[in-house]
Chain A
Amino acid sequence: MTEKQLSATEQLMEQEADSLARAAIGAPKQPRSSLGRRVRSTVSAYGFLLPAIALVITFFIIPGILLIILSFTNLSSANFTEPWEFIGFANFERLFTDPFFPKILRNTVFYVFTTLIFFNLGLALVLALVTTNIPRRRGFFFRLVWLLPRLTPSVVYILMWKRIGSADPFGIYNQFMPEVLGASGGNLFLGGAPWAFVILTNGFVGASFGMIIFTSALMSIPEDLITAAKVDGASTWRIIRDIKLPLIKWPLLFIATYQTLSLLTSFEYILLLTEGGPGLFTTEVWALTAYKRAFSSYFGNSQWAFGATWAIVLVAVALVMAVLYVKIFKFNELVEEPRIENL
């Protein structure tokens, strides 16, 4: 804690003790100028905010600024013993003229929106609807099962998927399923269906977050509304479409926004599963490129500055998307209008 904050806290405690003591002996409250009081309360308010502000500055603002500065330099593991040089927009030029840039961009868009729509929103919604429509305890059990992947360490989780998709004598899929579904016999995530594996691994984990949020939103819909809709003649499907979905609009939009941003920056499952392969950049997404450029580039050279450039541009894209979501989804309008009491 900083000195300033300490003193503010002390001051507050003194005041408290003082007024308590006065109250105990029945003495009148000390008159105090309103200006003085306002200054004091402002100071103490900022005092309480300080730890949070300090954390944000230390771990977000400062690294952000450093990253931006870094993206204009040539710092890499090849030359970090010499002072770095500012090289203008060279890194940005290099990024946008990279021959694989269009492919990485396409991969990222495909990865983010396919996972988002089919799993983080779609499957999550289906799971929430189903588990709230069966007896309570059973629903709770199934949701718990769906949370397991999220609770499993990434490496263990991906190892299990690798075991499922490995080449012939080892892979579970190749041992049991080819007669049913047809398969190559080869490695699936590095051959047959890399994208399917990338999206499934991410989607199975991603769906559970939306599932929890949607479930609690669905459970908060008053039972009377559903009864009313049934009496009005609505089928199960119409109840979902006309009543349930509109009433969980806010959580749906929130999950869409939040998950878009988190998918944009996520890469660890892809790194562990395919490392962006098979071949050149088949499943490589933007965040993975940033990581690879900065920390595990080919020829043993970590291009810290160039990696920072990828990361900075990605953050900029994410910010723009966040603003777009807020505008398109009209988040501010979700605040209810006040009731007019008459009659």
Chain B
Amino acid sequence: MRVELENLSKAWDGVVGADRITLDIADGEFVAFLGPSGCGKTTTLLMVAGIYKPSGGTIKFDGHVVNEVAPKDRGIGMVFQSYALYPHMTVFGNISYPLRIQKVNKTEIKERVQKVADMMGIGDLLDRKIVQLSGGQQQRVSLGRALVKEPQLLLFDEPLSNLDARLRLTMRGEIKRLQEEMGITAIYVTHDQVEAMTMADRIAVMSGGVLQAYDVPTDLYEHPKTQFVAGFVGNPPMNFFDVEIVAMDGEFRAKSGSIDLALPRDRAEKAAAAGKDKLIMGVRPEDIYLVDDAEPAAPGRTLTAAIEVVEPLGREDLLGVTVNDVEMRVLVDKTKGAAVGDNVDLVFDMSSVQFFDPETEQSVLWT
């Protein structure tokens, strides 16, 4: 099913939940709503579901405005973070509930519930009570209940946030596979950018009720259109510095206090063309390296830093360093054996550097 949101807004006397959200979702597409807690993801999703009445704007399914259509007539299935299973019913009772309401006949209900339950790997748990299930099993039941009525649009509200990290990984793949196999359009709300990046065809990044960006994952990562998107997408987050762009000897440099880095020509020219005295420069932690044999010091791209914090992440170490008084995060291979207190040389890969207008926080590279 094709979904179009046009200037969709929701406010409760003064409190803005969603502010003029406009986006379209193609048939069979998997779209993630990504943003920090309280940014309006659930509000938008509940308007699509028909639970909240929009304060403004329209929702279209396959070209038809559905603003006034009741949730039950929208052809949707929904999965919640809390699972929202009916605790007084068995697994069978839960999955069959939408069909029982539609008065589907008993034998068909049995068949369809069994089929969905088998697909979810809970076919032998149908007689269990909900309290007898683990969190992962409960989430499968809830997914089964959403799928059993063969919806045309699946809505997920942080469905994996209550599961442990391992299970989250498994379920992530499973949900994606199911959605692809069944070809159902899906909206997936999450505050976890890894989930959004790995699962979604396109990601709608939201902040303060406003849609910040709507793009495929790699574009969000490589061509962030706002400073918020640049900072939110990517883990650990991007480093930001206030810099001036200076042209010297036919070369562009980003300067600010102790920072002085040579810039690649294409980006620097665009940045300079913005005509601002100051810009915000963004460099990802993974684009900064410790100088060694593999990464030799490069003239104009090397700075000396003091290591303040070392956070071992397993394969990598996340370093908190200061270059004189400027703080930044650096992601390095753990075999480098970085230790707190060391003074090290850092080499910057400037080929993916970002620039933002400090007033509008918009990218000066991508529009």
Interface residues of A (CB under 8 A from B): 222, 224-225, 227-234, 238, 242-243, 246-247, 249, 336-337, 339-343
Of A230, A238, A247, A343, which contacts B71 at CB under 8 A?
A230
Given A339-B132, A343-B137, also A224-B101 (CB < 8 A): no
Does A231 lie within 8 Å of B49, measured CB to CB? Answer: yes
CA distance A242 to B100 in the complex (A): 11
Does A247 lie within 8 Å of B87, measured CB to CB? Answer: yes
- Whether B360 is near chain A, meaning CB under 8 Å from some CB there, is no
Given A337-B132, A339-B132, A340-B134, also A231-B101 (CB < 8 A): no
- Further contacts, 19 of them, CB under 8 A, given A234-B72, A247-B88: A222-B82, A227-B46, A227-B49, A227-B51, A228-B84, A228-B145, A230-B51, A230-B72, A231-B51, A231-B76, A231-B78, A231-B155, A232-B149, A233-B98, A233-B149, A247-B87, A339-B134, A341-B134, A343-B136
**Residues of chain A with a CB closer than 8 A to B82's CB:** 222, 224
Give the residue name and chain of the B residue nearest to A227 (CB): B51
Does B71 lie within 8 Å of A225, measured CB to CB? Answer: no
Does A231 lie within 8 Å of B71, measured CB to CB? Answer: yes
CA distance A249 to B88 in the complex (A): 10
Does A337 lie within 8 Å of B129, measured CB to CB? Answer: yes
**Residues of chain B with a CB closer than 8 A to A238's CB:** 101
Given A227-B51, A337-B131, A340-B132, also A232-B97 (CB < 8 A): yes
A-B contact pairs, 26 of them (CB 8 A): A222-B82, A224-B82, A224-B84, A227-B51, A227-B80, A228-B145, A230-B71, A231-B77, A231-B78, A231-B155, A232-B72, A232-B145, A233-B102, A233-B149, A234-B101, A238-B101, A242-B86, A246-B86, A246-B88, A247-B88, A336-B131, A337-B129, A339-B131, A339-B132, A339-B134, A343-B137
**Residues of chain B with a CB closer than 8 A to A233's CB:** 71-72, 98, 101-102, 149
Interface residues of B (CB under 8 A from A): 46, 49-51, 70-72, 76-78, 80, 82, 84-88, 97-98, 101-102, 129, 131-134, 136-137, 145, 149, 155, 167
CA distance A224 to B167 in the complex (A): 22
**Residues of chain A with a CB closer than 8 A to B136's CB:** 343
Of B50, B80, B133, B167, which contacts A228 at CB under 8 A?
B80
Of A225, A227, A341, which contacts B86 at CB under 8 A?
A225
Of A228, A247, A337, A343, which contacts B78 at CB under 8 A?
A228
User: Which of A233, A242, A249 counts the most chain B CB atoms within 10 A?
Assistant: A233
| A337 CB, min distance to chain B CBs, angstroms | 6
| A341 CB, min distance to chain B CBs, angstroms | 5
CA distance A225 to B49 in the complex (A): 14
SS class, residues of chain A in contact with chain B: helix
| B261 CB, min distance to chain A CBs, angstroms | 50
CA distance A341 to B163 in the complex (A): 13
**Residues of chain B with a CB closer than 8 A to A339's CB:** 131-134
**Residues of chain A with a CB closer than 8 A to B76's CB:** 231
Of B72, B80, B97, B132, which contacts A224 at CB under 8 A?
B80
Give the residue name and chain of the A residue nearest to B101 (CB): A233
Given A230-B72, A232-B101, also A225-B84 (CB < 8 A): yes
CA distance A246 to B169 in the complex (A): 35
CA distance A63 to B149 in the complex (A): 64
CA distance A232 to B155 in the complex (A): 12
CA distance A339 to B128 in the complex (A): 11
CA distance A246 to B71 in the complex (A): 23
CA distance A342 to B34 in the complex (A): 31
Given A224-B80, A227-B49, also A232-B98 (CB < 8 A): yes
| A134 CB, min distance to chain B CBs, angstroms | 16
Does A227 lie within 8 Å of B132, measured CB to CB? Answer: no
Does B134 lie within 8 Å of A227, measured CB to CB? Answer: no
| B45 CB, min distance to chain A CBs, angstroms | 10
CA distance A343 to B136 in the complex (A): 7
Does B51 lie within 8 Å of A222, measured CB to CB? Answer: no
Given A228-B78, A230-B72, A247-B87, also A242-B97 (CB < 8 A): yes
CA distance A232 to B79 in the complex (A): 11
CA distance A343 to B86 in the complex (A): 21
| B74 CB, min distance to chain A CBs, angstroms | 8
**Residues of chain A with a CB closer than 8 A to B87's CB:** 247
**Residues of chain B with a CB closer than 8 A to A243's CB:** 86
Pick the 7 closest A-B CB pairs, nearest first: A233-B72, A224-B84, A228-B84, A232-B98, A246-B88, A233-B101, A231-B78
CA distance A247 to B84 in the complex (A): 13
**Residues of chain A with a CB closer than 8 A to B137's CB:** 343
CA distance A228 to B72 in the complex (A): 10
| B13 CB, min distance to chain A CBs, angstroms | 11
CA distance A343 to B77 in the complex (A): 25
Does B134 lie within 8 Å of A342, measured CB to CB? Answer: yes
**Residues of chain B with a CB closer than 8 A to A232's CB:** 72, 97-98, 101, 145, 149
| A11 CB, min distance to chain B CBs, angstroms | 44
| B14 CB, min distance to chain A CBs, angstroms | 15
**Residues of chain B with a CB closer than 8 A to A229's CB:** 86, 97
CA distance A341 to B132 in the complex (A): 8
User: Which of B50, B77, B80, B84 counts the most chain A CB atoms within 10 A?
Assistant: B84
**Residues of chain B with a CB closer than 8 A to A225's CB:** 84, 86
